[in-house]
Chain A
Amino acid sequence: MLVELVRKMIVAGGSLGMLLIATQVQAGGPNEICLTYANGQFDPKEPTVPADAPLTIRVKNMESKAIEFESETLKIEKVIAANSEAVLNVRAMKSGRYEFYNDFNEKARGFVNVQ
């Protein structure tokens, strides 16, 4: 049956794709920012990193509520559960000021200075 064949093809293609993806070595950016979220604020508020290099941002949420760490310009967003931490990967960016915030509490804001 053709539909059956198509399903098999999709499954095979998907598995092959996953295999190819899995063999990719983790890039692992050398630059890392560590942010702490407590009392409705990020700390530090304006970290600085070098331009044109991949970046990882580690966010530690010290509060008893979840936050959603988000930046439109850095193209990242991630839910971080209460009292836990998460890592976000950012592609290499040109120099500039990139705003980030907690989407669940938009008063909590900061900037990544890429230079």
Chain B
Amino acid sequence: MLAALIIVFREVFEAGLIVGIVLAVTSAVPHRLRWIGAGLFAGLAGACVVAAFAGTLTQLFEGMGQEVFNAAILSTAVIMLTWHNVWMARHGREMANELRTMGQAVAEGAKPLVALATVIAIAVLREGSEVALFLYGVAASDEGGGRALLGGGVLGLLLGVAVCLATYLGLMRIPPRALFRTTTVLITLLSAGMAAQAVFFLARANWLTWFDQVMWDSSAVLPEKGLAGRTLKALIGYTDQPTGMQLAVYVGVIVATIALMRLTTTSAPPRAVAAE
């Protein structure tokens, strides 16, 4: 039972952190729970589909289907997160300064919510498909401990939800003005980390083998699979043996995000700049 709890919790943990951050990011947006719920549901449904066709997925791209799939959905998440940041840089300030009518704010607020709901769906899909496969194996086996294992799985899931709530409530303690800045930084690092993970999967698929020498090895100090390592991996894409390409892409995403945000804010009306 403990084994099942740990396995499920480990998978749900990362998704829990991401959902917690999104909840905090969207705290001022009305009807956000509808979108977040839709993202969760789509992710769960997708996870079941991926789990059901895991064998087929693996065989795609000359046996590298899982790696390519992971890289593709991670890249999608990176685009969505960057889009969100850029959109917020442009409209967030306008909304705050001009006190738009509620109706407009809702209509415009829906745009980044699509992006964030997609990110949630992707996070749940990635972790959920492994949980689904594991629990299916447990349920399918006739061993007597099956029910206890399922119980452990449910407990693991609940702990994951607790991580999500703790992240959300922790972020909500930050004053509203500083919260926007904090979440922008968090989302930028989250996105850079996901891009670096996408590079990792492409390297494993032998699709991207440029600059794949390991730049350093910090596995003795901060192992990637430890609790601290996992948390940092989920939040900022920590890896204990980054390759040159991973570092380059990581920095590249951060620089690109800042550049795009600058580009869009400077083209905003001058009064918005003056208010800064």
Q: Digit string of A2-14 for contact with B (CB within 8 Å is 1, else 0)?
A: 1100110010001
**Are A6 and B75 touching (Cβ within 8 A)?**
no
Q: Which residue of A lies closest to B264 (CB)?
A: A2
Known contacts A79-B130, A79-B133; A24/B66 CB under 8 A? no
Give the docked Cα–Cα distance between A88 and B63 (Å): 8
**Are B137 and A27 touching (Cβ within 8 A)?**
no
Give the docked Cα–Cα distance between A6 and B202 (Å): 24
Residues of B close to A87: CB separation below 8 A: 63-64
Which residues between 1 and 50 of chain A lie within 8 Å of chain B, taking CB atoms?
2-3, 6-7, 10, 14, 21-22, 24, 26-28
Residue from B130, B209, B212 in contact with A68 in the complex, judged by beta carbons closer than 8 Å: B130
State the main secondary structure of chain B at its contact with A. helix
| Any A CB within 8 A of the CB of B35 | no
| Any A CB within 8 A of the CB of B83 | yes
Give the docked Cα–Cα distance between A26 and B141 (Å): 39
Give the docked Cα–Cα distance between A68 and B129 (Å): 12
Residues of A close to B224: CB separation below 8 A: 72
Known contacts A3-B264, A72-B224; A21/B207 CB under 8 A? yes
**Are B55 and A81 touching (Cβ within 8 A)?**
yes
B residues with CB within 8 A of A: 3, 7, 54-55, 58-59, 62-64, 66, 75, 79, 82-83, 86-87, 90, 129-130, 133-134, 136-138, 140-141, 200, 202-209, 212, 219, 223-225, 241, 260, 263-264, 267
A residues with CB within 8 A of B: 2-3, 6-7, 10, 14, 21-22, 24, 26-28, 64-66, 68, 72-73, 75-76, 78-84, 86-89, 91, 103-104, 106
Q: Which residue of A lies closest to B129 (CB)?
A: A79
Residues of A close to B200: CB separation below 8 A: 75
Give the docked Cα–Cα distance between A27 and B202 (Å): 13
**Are B202 and A21 touching (Cβ within 8 A)?**
yes
**Are B83 and A24 touching (Cβ within 8 A)?**
no
Give the docked Cα–Cα distance between A59 and B204 (Å): 15
Residue from A72, A79, A81 in contact with B225 in the complex, judged by beta carbons closer than 8 Å: A72
Give the docked Cα–Cα distance between A3 and B112 (Å): 12
Q: Which residue of A lies closest to B130 (CB)?
A: A79
Residues of A close to B241: CB separation below 8 A: 75
**Are B263 and A7 touching (Cβ within 8 A)?**
no
Known contacts A6-B260, A65-B141, A79-B130; A91/B267 CB under 8 A? no
